[in-house]
Each structure stands twice: as structure tokens, then as C-alpha cells.
Amino acid sequence: MKKKVILILFIVSLVISSFVAYENLFISNFNSHFDSLFRISVWALTIFLLVYYLKLDGNPQLAPSSISTEKNLEENTKDKNNSNVSFDDVAGLDEIKEELHEIIDFINNSEKYKKMGAKIPKGILFYGPPGTGKTLLAKAVAGETNSFFLYSCGSEFVEKYVGVGAKRIRTLYEKAKKNAPSIIFIDELDAIGCKRNLDSNNEKDQTLNQLLVEMDGFNDNNNIVVIGATNRLDLLDEALLRPGRFDRHIFVGNPNLKAREEIFKVHIRNKPIDSSVKIKELSKKTHGFSGAQLANIANEAAILAVRNNKDKIDILDFNSAIERVVAGLEIKHPSVLEKEKKVVAIHESGHAIVGKILSVDMIQKISIIPRGQALGYVLKFPDEERYLHTRNELVNKIKVLLGGRAAEQVIFNEITTGAKDDLVKATEIADKMVCDYGMSLLGNIAIKDKYKYYNIGKIEKEIKKIIDSSYEETVNIIKENIKLLHEISSYLLEHETMDSEELENICFNIKENIFTTVT
Ligand code: ATP
């Protein structure tokens, strides 16, 4: 607005001075003292307005940008000041909740600790994969202590204007101090806290420095706890992690079987559930899922039940919801050619047979109905929770992934692009075997990124060896079970999906095929 007024004044002034100059040159020969003074004033005013306008224009965004972003920060934190989340809403993270009880007691009974000369831990760092409940835990700490909850995200502090990020950190702390006891939650901490020698962005450095200063500075009576969250602990600057700052590091990982059961229970609490739904079974089928995915499944199942005009959410809704989360949205009218359908049926049957023969995971469903980007898929889950894998098990996983391509090769003597994702996943496992687990001829070594660069040829050779030998064995498994392959693919072409029971029946009927290859 101000800029517009100055611009209009400048244009008016420019018109008057041009008129005055024109008169001076062509019309009159003003000599009077008054006229000269008038001309000089008009020109001076024009030049002043021009300079003032350019000054405003040269630094156009800094002031408004910082004002508006402060406003954003206010808005972002507005609704989240009083957390109504409690530990009852956080399922399955018992060890972490126990660890946090001390912090909660510190805030709730600070006098007890002060008497002993103990200081409140200033920073807690949650790290781990996305959707595992890091934000939820921070909100629960605020809820349990009736603290003021300030949510912020690391990327909100990243600006190209020097000083803006640091100012926002100061504002955040001022607000926390004013409303203490407070919990400041900084999500995506790595956006501002990454190692300074890796990223020499001056603005980021200033923001991080300001955060360190604030963490050191606030006094022990303030009752402010900062909780940071990141998916990449390895990226964070050492200074952030030293004692007195984020010195408590808590890993929040994907839930195990029991935790998944508890998370499901929390998310079906207020939903009408049919007796066909067995939470234990659902938890088994969702191995490797994050808490956020489980919450999503419960919600999707409820939506499906409403769509199908049901009174209660039944197991079919849950199964469809799992499929939707794992494989994406079902494509209602796919335009897959008949001959492509046959390739997909053979490909998926290949995965299923190798999985079944090598006993890798429990197959829940095979489908050739396109979902998301996949033309078909095999839904499977491990029959038991595992934390360690042998070399042989990893090789078997690679073989299952290569089963689709091997089946195409054996049946059509031709391969298609359908194995793209399988190849990526198989190569990833082989890469980890060589570089992380010391499971190749390169020996019992973990190869860090900086050494990978110089040894890329050797590494590729080892990865290729693992993949090639696995592929060869997979082709053999397919060849030895070709009858089973045809049975499964024919069933799929006719019915489009096959469940675990049907697969068992077909395998039982061609039992001799299975016995030929079980090792
Ligand atoms: P990101 O790293 O992507 O920020 P996050 O670890 O902070 O993710 P949250 O935002 O806390 O994950 O979790 C997302 C949602 O998932 C929660 O709102 C909640 O509904 C559900 N959820 C995750 N973990 C749990 C849990 N342990 N108990 C109950 N619900 C959970």
C-alpha cells in the first residue's frame, strides 16, 4: 500500500517537473527568484520520491515476509497449545513411556527435584522412521503435564533471509517462557540441525546457533522441555547432541506384533466392530507397518463399511483396507490387454510359487486386479516376528522377488518391464548384504559411503554375483514346478484373485511338484 502511494506521488511529481522543464525551455524565460525556487523544489521532491521508492523496492520482502511468517508461526501453534492427548492414546511404546515418566514427574513435581539439586533434562530427541508416533508422544507428555504445547517444524525456520530463522527461534522460546511449563516440539529437526560442515548455509548456521543459545540459556526454573524429532539422527550436528542439549536419544521404531495389537485397539475404540474381526490376526497381517499406517487402516475400514451400508465394520472391510494401504487404490476399469493379463498372471504366480516352495512369508492373497501402479500383487506377511536374518534367508527373499521375471522367462522365453520394482528391491537387499552385513566375498566388512566410491566396481561385481546365482536357482524352481505355475495362473485368469486357502488346495493337489524341490 505504502509503495503504491509513493509511486503515485512520484508519477505526479514527475509530470509536474516535466511540465516545469518544458515551460522553462520553450515558453517563458522565468527569471524570478520564486520560479527558480519552485522548479528546484519540484525536481528535488521527484528525486527524493524516486530514491525512496527504489529503497522500498530494493528490500521488498524482508519486513513483510518476517511479519507474515511470525504470524504463520503463531497460527501453527495456536490450536496446539493445550494438548488433550494422554499416554492412554499412545499404544505399545511401553519402554518409551516409562522413560518419559521421569520427565513428566520432573515437570509435575519440580520442587522435589530442585531440593536434590537435580536439573530438568532440557532436550529429548525422538528418532526413527516416519509415522511411528513421535509427535503423538510429545503431545502426550504435554497432556500428562498439563503443559503448554508448542508445535513447530524445522522447515518453518529455513528462510533465505539471514536472521529470520534465528528470530523465529527466539519468538518460540519467548512464547514458551511466557507460558511455562511448556513443551516445545520441533519436528524435522534435521532441517535446521544438520552438521554445519556439510551444509555451510549461513542462514541455517545462524538458526542452529540461536537454538543452541536458547537451549543453553533458559534457566533451570523455567520448566521448558524441548522435544526434537528426526528420521535421520546421523545428520545432526554434534553440538546439538551433547549433554545439556538433546542428550536423551529415544528410538521410536515400527511396532512389533503386540504393539500393533494395542495400536489397533486404540484406533477401534470408538468404532462398531463386527465379531469377525480378530485383532490378533490383523496384527499378524500388518508386519512392518507403522502406527500411522495402522491408524489409517482402521479409518479406511470404517469408511468402507459406511460405503457398503453396514452397521458394523467387519473383517472384509479390514482386509480391503490393508490391501488399499499396501498396494494402492483398486483400478475399477483397467485397460489391460488380454495378453498382458496372461503375463501378469504368470508373473504373480512365479512370485507365489517361489515364496511357497522356499517358505518365505505366508501368502495371504494373489491378485491380478491392478492397484495403484501395480498390475498385480502377492500379499504376504511373515509367520513370525524376526529381528535377525541369515544369509540364506536374505538370498531366498531375493529369489522370491526374482520369481516373477523367472516365470516370464521360462514360459514366454521373453522378459517384460513388469519386474522393475522387484529388481530394485532385490538389488537393495544384495547391496546391503555386500556393504552392510559383510555377506560377500569382500569379507566381513561394512563399506561406508566414502569407500563405496573407490570400490564401486568390486561392489557391483559382488552384487551381480548374488543376483545372478539367485536368478539361476529361481529359474530352476519355476521349471521344476511348471505344472503348479500353470494351475495357479489359469485360476487367476479366471477368478482374478486367489486366497491362501485356494493356494493350499492347489498345492495339495500337485503335492509331488512341491516335494521335488523342497531342500
Ligand atoms: P513423522 O516422523 O512422519 O513426523 P511421527 O513419528 O511423528 O511421524 P505421528 O505423527 O506421531 O508420527 O503419528 C501419526 C499418527 O499415527 C498418530 O496421530 C496416531 O494416530 C498414529 N499412531 C502412531 N503411533 C501410534 C501409537 N503408538 N499409538 C497410537 N497411535 C499411533
CA 133 to ligand 1: nearest atom:
11
* Residue 200 confidence (pLDDT) above 70: no
Residue 345 has pLDDT above 80, yes or no: yes
pLDDT at 23 exceeding the cut of 70: no
DSSP 3-state assignment of 385? coil
Please state, rounded to an integer, the average pLDDT across all residues of the chain: 83
Atom of ligand 1 at shortest range from CA of 187: 4
Location of C-alpha cell 522553462: 24
Q: Is the pLDDT of residue 78 over 50?
A: no
Q: State yes or no: pLDDT of 460 exceeds 50.
A: yes
3-state SS string for 452-518: HHHCHHHHHHHHHHHHHHHHHHHHHHHHHCHHHHHHHHHHHHHHCEEEHHHHHHHHHHCHHHHHHHC
User: Is residue 338 among the annotated active site residues?
Assistant: no
Q: What residues are in contact with ligand 1 under a 6 Å CB criterion?
A: 90-93, 130-136, 187, 229, 231, 263, 266, 291-292, 295
Report the 10 Å Cβ neighbour count for 33: 8
pLDDT tens-digit series, residues 354-401? 999 998 888 989 999 888 778 899 988 887 777 899 999 999 999 999
CB neighbours (10 Å) of residue 141? Answer: 26
Q: Which atom of ligand 1 is nearest to the CA of 91?
A: 28
Report the separation in Å between the CA atom of 140 and the middle of ligand 1, taken as the mean of its atom positions: 11
Q: How confident is the model at residue 197 (pLDDT cuts 50, 70, 90)?
A: low
Check whether the bond before 334 is cis (ω within 30° of 0): no
Site to probe by mutation for ligand 1, drawn from 85, 124, 135, 260 as the one with most ligand atoms within 8 Å of Cβ, is 135
Looking at ligand 1, which atom is closest to the CA of residue 138?
Answer: 11
Report residue 305's pLDDT band, with 50, 70 and 90 as the boundaries: very high
Which segment of 168-172, 194-198, 200-204, 294-298 scores lowest on mean pLDDT? Answer: 200-204
pLDDT in tens, 484-495: 999 999 999 999
Residue pair 398/470 in contact by the 8 Å Cβ criterion: yes
CA of 439 to the centre of ligand 1 (A): 35
Residue nearest to atom 10 of ligand 1 (CA): 135
In angstroms, what is the span from residue 268 Cα to ligand 1's centroid? 15
The predicted structure's pLDDT at residue 420: 93
Contact 248, 124 (CB under 8 A): yes
CA 90–ligand 1 middle distance (angstroms) = 9
Q: What is the pLDDT of residue 267?
A: 94
Q: What is the pLDDT of residues 138-185, one digit of tens each?
A: 999 999 888 889 898 888 877 666 677 788 888 888 888 888 788 899
- CA of residue 314 to ligand 1 center, whole Å: 24
Ligand 1 centre distance from Cα of residue 249 (Å): 18
Distance 267 CA to ligand 1 centre (A): 12
Cβ atoms 107, 181 nearer than 8 A: yes
Nearest CA, atom 8, ligand 1: 131
Give distance in angstroms: CA of 227 to centre of ligand 1: 15
201 confidence band (pLDDT: 50, 70, 90)? low
pLDDT, residue 221, reads 56
Which residue's alpha carbon is at the smallest distance from atom 9 of ligand 1? 133
Best probe residue, ligand 1, of 136, 185, 186 (max atoms within 8 Å of C-beta): 136
Lookup: cell for 90: 499412545
The predicted pLDDT at position 26 comes to 53
For every residue of 417-441, DSSP letters joined together read: GGGHHHHHHHHHHHHHHHHTS--ST
Distance of CA 133 from the midpoint of ligand 1 (Å) = 3
Residue range 436-444: mean pLDDT, rounded: 92
| pLDDT score, position 218 | 58
Convert the pLDDT of each residue in 268-282 to its tens digit.
Answer: 998 999 999 999 989
Residue 318 burial (CB < 10 Å; 0-12/13-18/19+)?
buried
Location of C-alpha cell 536357482: 473
Where residue 54 falls among pLDDT bands split at 50, 70, 90? confident
Cα distance between residue 519 and residue 504, in whole Å: 19
The answer to whether the CB of 364 falls within 8 A of the CB of 372 is: no
Task: Report residue 25's pLDDT band, with 50, 70 and 90 as the boundaries.
Answer: low
Q: Which of 64-78, 94-108, 388-402, 436-450 shows the lowest per-residue confidence on average (mean pLDDT)?
A: 64-78
Q: What is the pLDDT of residue 14?
A: 81
| Least confident piece of the model among 114-128, 284-298, 465-479 | 114-128
- Looking from the CA of residue 92, the nearest atom of ligand 1 is 27
* Nearest C-alpha neighbor of 255 from the set 297, 292, 309, 299: 292
- Quote the CA–CA distance of 159 and 165 in Å, as a whole number: 6
Q: Which of 85, 125, 132, 258 to mutate to test the pocket of ligand 1 (most atoms within 8 A of CB)?
A: 132
Amino acid 61: pLDDT? 40
> Is the per-residue pLDDT at 99 higher than 90?
no
- Of 156, 188, 203, 348, catalytic: 348
pTM for this model (two decimals):
0.74
Is the confidence at residue 462, as pLDDT, over 50? yes
The pLDDT-based confidence of 416 (bands split at 50, 70, 90) is very high
Give yes or no for a contact between 462 and 335, defined as CB atoms under 8 angstroms apart: no
When mean pLDDT is compared across 43-52, 232-241, 332-341, 434-443, the lowest value belongs to 332-341
